Amino acid sequence: MIAFSVILFLADSQLNLFASSRVYLNSLVSPIQYIADAPQKLSRVISDNLLTREALKDRNQELEKENLFLKADRLLLTQLENENKQLRELLNSQRSFSNKRMIAEVMSLRSDPFTHQLLINKGASDGVYVGQPVINEEGVVGQISQVGSTTSRVLLIVDASHGIPVRVQRNDIAAVVHGSGAWNKLNIPFVQSNADLKEGDLLVTSGLGGRFPAGYPVATISHFNYQQGALYAQVTATPVALLDRSRYLLLLWNDHQFSESDLSLDLESEDVTAE
Amino acid sequence: MSLLSSYRVIYSTFIVGLLGAIYPLPIFLNAFRPDWLVLIIFYWVLALPHRVSIVHAFILGLLLDLLLGSTLGTHALLFSLLAYVVSMNYQRFRYFTIVQTTLLVGLFVLITKLALYWLASSLQEIVLHKHYFWSIFTSMLIWPWFFFFMRYLRQRFKVT
């Protein structure tokens, strides 16, 4: 039995043998996860139902105001979009925006203490696939690492095995952001010590690697330090999204989905070892 | 009592243990969560080594791996090792006083935690939080009560 579990451990960690059967295995345990999540969900529903009429009215008013502002911004956005399209046509460069989105709720259950993962209540039956980008209203959260039929796991950008290609919004310097394993710190290795980076610069997804759509905010640079004579600077960043506090996440569908064989190639080039 | 109903009681404690292992807690309490499954396996193998075998511990560990999203086989390996050690020595452990078994539980949880850390760090770069080992103390604190509660359950439902 012990030899068997050693074999299992090696088979899953080194050879990734269970990639296809994990969907079924994950679906097997999802009832337990739903049961464990149920009390919290119930208390949320109750507290939502127990709001007074005054509070609801206030909230409604607030939301209507916000909606008005957002709509006003959107008016401008369509114009800008058209202008952008025209300019892109002039330059002969196409750029695709992802269309399909889906809201997923976080099931706040305990996960493996050494990795940074979230469990969400959408799975393969909703069309979720491994490697799918996940964002919230503030910025990039992570990507799907495991799928079950009704649940899936999101590997957060702060996990030590996660990497995401970015560019600096101010001047388009390309870099790769690696997770550090701490909740609010990201590392950016291999940045030239004379690179034009400043603390407070916003990093957005570059779209290289084809997994994350371009243009979503990822992190702000919190610390830039280089030693005289060193080849690379030490750069750290903090994620834009509040990773441990978000209740709803947004799943994005890339317009051009990769076929299976492309996906495995993509994994290596992007330096993401999501198991 | 019949075999079937004995197993019904044992399996329901397993499921409650799995729920307890993943039940959402506030962040500051999360580190103090006792290792329910280690306690449950320890108790059942100690009390009924002919009923709860290494296979049970293995399957429980596998389920926990799936629930936590860790690499398959990490908890399965550790739990089957735990069940093996206990089933080899259950006659000796039965004569221990409650203080001694509490210390033993602390030792088991410590070894499990260290081994988990070692296995995880062999796969990838990880950061060890200083709260990681707190659950040893909560597990030890909870063990005597847990032990008497389980013994009550066992006698109440006549699990043999």
Domain residue limits, chain A? 111-275
- For residue A158, pLDDT over 60 is answered with yes
Q: What is the pLDDT of residue A269?
A: 41
Q: Residue A237's beta-bridge partner residues? A: A186, A221
A171 near A196, Cβ under 8 Å?
Answer: yes
Q: Could you count the other beta carbons within 10 Å of the beta carbon of residue B114? A: 12
Cβ distance A110 to B33 less than 8 Å, yes or no, reads yes
Site from A6, A7, A9 to mutate, B interface, most B CB atoms within 10 angstroms: A9
Name the nearest CA neighbour of B128 among B116, B115, B139, B117: B117
ipTM of the complex: 0.78
- For residue B111, pLDDT over 50 is answered with yes
Top mean-pLDDT range of A65-69, A123-127, B59-63, B84-88: A65-69
Cβ distance B84 to A111 less than 8 Å, yes or no, reads no
Q: Give A 25-44 residues with CB within 8 A of chain B.
A: 25-26, 28-29, 32-33, 35-37, 40
Distance separating alpha carbons of residues B28 and A247, to the nearest angstrom: 18
| Strand A174-179 relative to strand A217-225, pairing | unpaired
Confidence of residue A53 (pLDDT cuts 50, 70, 90): confident
Q: Could you count the other beta carbons within 10 Å of the beta carbon of residue A85? A: 12
Q: Taking CB atoms and an 8 Å cutoff, what residues of chain A touch B21?
A: 110
A140 near A152, Cβ under 8 Å?
Answer: no
B73: closest chain A residue by CA: A9
Which DSSP state fits B54? H
**Residue B4 tokens, joined:** 């079937």
Q: What is the dihedral of CA A45, A46, A48, A53, to 10 degrees?
A: 150
A233 near A86, Cβ under 8 Å?
Answer: no
B112: exposed, middle or buried (Cβ count in 10 Å: 0-12, 13-18, 19+): buried
State the alpha helices, DSSP H only, in B69-133.
74-93, 98-123
Fold category of A111-275 in CATH: Thrombin, subunit H (2.40.10)
Helix axes B74-93, B98-123, angle to 10 degrees: 160
- The mean of the pLDDT values for chain B is 86
Q: What is the pLDDT of residue B78?
A: 87
- For residue A147, pLDDT over 90 is answered with no
Mean pLDDT of the A172-198 span: 86
- For residue B29, pLDDT over 50 is answered with yes
pTM for this structure?
0.79
**Residue A64 tokens, joined:** 């209507």
**Residue A239 tokens, joined:** 């994620």
B37 near B79, Cβ under 8 Å?
Answer: yes
| Strand A232-239 relative to strand A133-135, pairing | unpaired
Cβ distance B69 to A35 less than 8 Å, yes or no, reads no
Mean pLDDT of the A208-224 span: 87
Poorest-confidence range of A69-73, A86-90, A141-145, B40-44?
A: A86-90
Distance separating alpha carbons of residues A252 and A274, to the nearest angstrom: 18
B79 near A15, Cβ under 8 Å?
Answer: no
CB of B15 less than 8 A from some CB of A: yes
Measure the CA angle with vertex A250, ends A245 and A253; round to 5°: 150
**List of E strands, A148-216:** 152-156, 163-168, 174-179, 186-192, 202-205
Q: How far is CA A26 from CA A21, A23, A66, A187, B69, in A?
A: 9, 5, 40, 31, 9
Q: What is the pLDDT of residues A227-258, one digit of tens each?
A: 888 888 889 999 998 887 778 899 988 765 44
Cβ distance A5 to B76 less than 8 Å, yes or no, reads yes
B139 near B40, Cβ under 8 Å?
Answer: no
Mean pLDDT of the B83-91 span: 88
**Residue B104 tokens, joined:** 């033993």
Q: Give B 68-107 residues with CB within 8 A of chain A.
A: 68-74, 76-77, 80-81, 84
A97 near A213, Cβ under 8 Å?
Answer: yes
Site from A14, A110, A275 to mutate, B interface, most B CB atoms within 10 angstroms: A110
Cβ distance B23 to A110 less than 8 Å, yes or no, reads yes
Q: What is the pLDDT of residue B143?
A: 92
Cβ distance A182 to B68 less than 8 Å, yes or no, reads no
A115 near B125, Cβ under 8 Å?
Answer: no
Cβ distance B73 to A6 less than 8 Å, yes or no, reads yes
Q: Give B 35-64 residues with CB within 8 A of chain A.
A: 54-55, 58, 61-63
